[in-house]
Structure 1
């Protein structure tokens, strides 16, 4: 009796999980979701000199455009390494409309490389997870009497 119950439970759970996966495949095949056209996934802050460093260098707006005929839903927006996501749209982004994600992070006032990543999860077909990389370099200004070899 115990073996029969375990077998039936295994069969029922197998059908349950099998159907759940088929729904996901059907959604992709039917073109469910929108698309995010990513022109450039790297935001380069360039070289920032220490004496020019301001709080504004750590504030970035990432612009997204819904390039499809269906609404774009952002499921989550996450930043790494002390990157704060200040604002992102919780409501659907309508077709051919643009939205912004406000990102802020602190840049230590010392020579360093800047490397941050913002991960966006959405209902976009083909590529539901998009990563934007924020890079840059904080450096000292060279003295006028220094010679570079």
Structure 2
């Protein structure tokens, strides 16, 4: 069975972005975590929490409050649950001269105002949640 089987799919930038932001909000995550551009498709399988995003090309975004540049690939997928995104693929954050993949994003529950990004190398970075609010 394909991971995306039985998923809700939204096509096009406006509908796709709206769906991505509403999923982040529904699961208690900051709406600005996915600054997407030229979205082709966003999908979500409620039964498993599997989410995928296809955009025309890679996007780099500078989260100024966190002083962090993040790269979002043309294919992004993950499993989303309350306050957490896990098994994330397609997102990298610049660390010094390297771009390690981000594999998990977790917000403290109960909330402390902190959000944690874990990379493939096992490194976890913590930032204020508001650094990833919509429009940052």
Mark yes or no: TM-score above 0.5: no
Higher share of residues assigned strand: 2
Choose between structure 1 and 2: higher helix proportion: 1
Query: Which TM class, normalised by the smaller chain length?
Result: under 0.3
State which structure, 1 or 2, has the greater radius of gyration over its C-alpha atoms: 1
Q: Which has the higher contact order (CA 8 A, sep 6+)?
A: 1
